[in-house]
Every structure is written in structure tokens, then in C-alpha cells.
Amino acid sequence: MIYEISDPFLLRLPILLETAKPGLFSIEDLQDLDNTLASLENDPSANAEEILINWCMARSSIRDELIKSSDRKEVGKGKPSDSQQSSRTKNFLPELRQKVQDRLNNQSK
């Protein structure tokens, strides 16, 4: 199944998961996000972008970090090619869920 996400706000979420300071994502946040992503993967008719934006907006510290990351200029990073960007957006939900599960595993240790 292909899940396309085009919202730039959401496209920064996987990067934030990898780079966030400890404590930004609580175990409860990660578990809830994992459950949300599982539901979205099982219901392709759901509006994934809207649901994930609402999830982020309900968590002010995560929302604020996503907004801050959009304001930063990424030095030394080239613009991804259209094919790279398309691949990332089409595989977004499964890749994001894997990052969430990895983070959960790391925080549980």
C-alpha cells in the first residue's frame, strides 16, 4: 500500500524523531503515535495527513519543535531530487512507524 504525504510540516516529523532531545517524545506519545500509525495503515481511506497534523498539534512541545525546525536553514543539505522526495512521501507511514518503534525500543532500555 502506498501512503502519500505531502505536508512539509509532517515530512519533518521523522527527522525530529531521530534528532530530538530526550524527553521531547514521552513513551506515551510514542505508543500513541505508533497506535495511530497502525490504524492509518489498516484504513487507507482515512485522511492520514489531517490525523497526523492533529496528533502533532495536540502536543505543544512537539508542534513547537516542528515549527522551529521549519525556520532553520539546513546547511550543506542539497534539495532532494523529485524521485527521492516522491519515494519518501509514498513510504511515509511505514517508515515513520519504524522510526517510532526504534525510538520506543531505545527509550525502553
C-alpha cell at 35: 497506535
Q: In the 3-class helix/strand/coil scheme, how is 86-101 assigned residue by residue?
A: HHHHHEHHHHHHHHHH
- Residue 66 burial by CB count (10 A; 0-12/13-18/19+): exposed, middle or buried? buried
Mean pLDDT of all residues in the chain?
83
The pLDDT score that the predictor gives to residue 40 is: 92
Q: How far is CA 30 from CA 75, 79, 90, 98, in A?
A: 29, 29, 22, 11
pLDDT on residue 28: 96
Contacts of 26 (CB under 8 A, 6+ apart): none
Task: Give kind and range of the element (H or E) at residue 56.
Answer: helix 48-57
| Each residue's pLDDT tens digit, 23-35 | 999 999 999 999 9
How does pLDDT run across 3-51, given as a tens digit for each residue?
678 888 899 999 999 998 889 999 999 999 999 999 998 888 889 999 9
pLDDT > 70 fraction of the chain, expressed in percent and rounded = 78
CB 103 within 8 A of CB 21: no
What integer pLDDT is reported at residue 69 of this predicted model? 84
Q: Name the pTM for this structure.
A: 0.81
In whole angstroms, give the CA distance from residue 30 to residue 11: 17
